Amino acid sequence: MRTLIALLALAVAAVAVAQESKVQLKDGPGKDKAMACIACHSVDYIEMNSRFMNRAAWTASVNKMINAFGAPIDKADIDAIVSYLVQNYGVKD
């Protein structure tokens, strides 16, 4: 029984890894700065939240990642990252 559970867990993990490799950030100005986000979480987090996020929400999210979670993002890059996210993944106001 343990072997079956272990094999099932490995299969699920393999699928998750395979799916993660398919998700990539869209090309555009600021993508290089936004790539800093994947130091802490996967790219699919951005796509999952994109249908809900406008400029204010992306700005709040990026600031939360820096201030609350210690994301390794230079504060000078916030505007470029937010603009990239709004342009490529955001809800237009």
pLDDT digits (tens, 9 = 90+) for 54-65: 999 999 999 999
As a 3-state breakdown, the chain gives helix, strand, coil percent values, each rounded to 5, of: 70, 0, 30
Asked if residue 82 is part of any domain, the answer here is yes
Q: Is residue 79 part of a domain?
A: yes
In this structure, is residue 14 part of a structural domain? Answer: no
Q: How confident is the model at residue 21 (pLDDT cuts 50, 70, 90)?
A: low
Q: Does 8 fall in a domain?
A: no
Range of the domain at 54: 24-89
Whether 74 maps to a domain, the answer reads yes
Please check whether residue 5 lies inside any domain of the structure: no
Classify residue 67: in a domain, yes or no. Answer: yes
What pLDDT score does 9 carry? 60
16 falls within a domain: no
- Any idea what the Cα angle at residue 58 is, between residues 87 and 39, rounded to 5°? 95
Number of structural domains (the chain) is: 1
CATH number at residue 69: 1.10.760.10
The answer to whether the pTM exceeds 0.75 is no
Write out the H or E segment, with its range, that includes residue 60: helix 55-67
Which residues have CB under 8 Å from 57's CB, separation 6+? none
* pLDDT over threshold 70, residue 29: yes
Is residue 18 scored above 80 in pLDDT? no
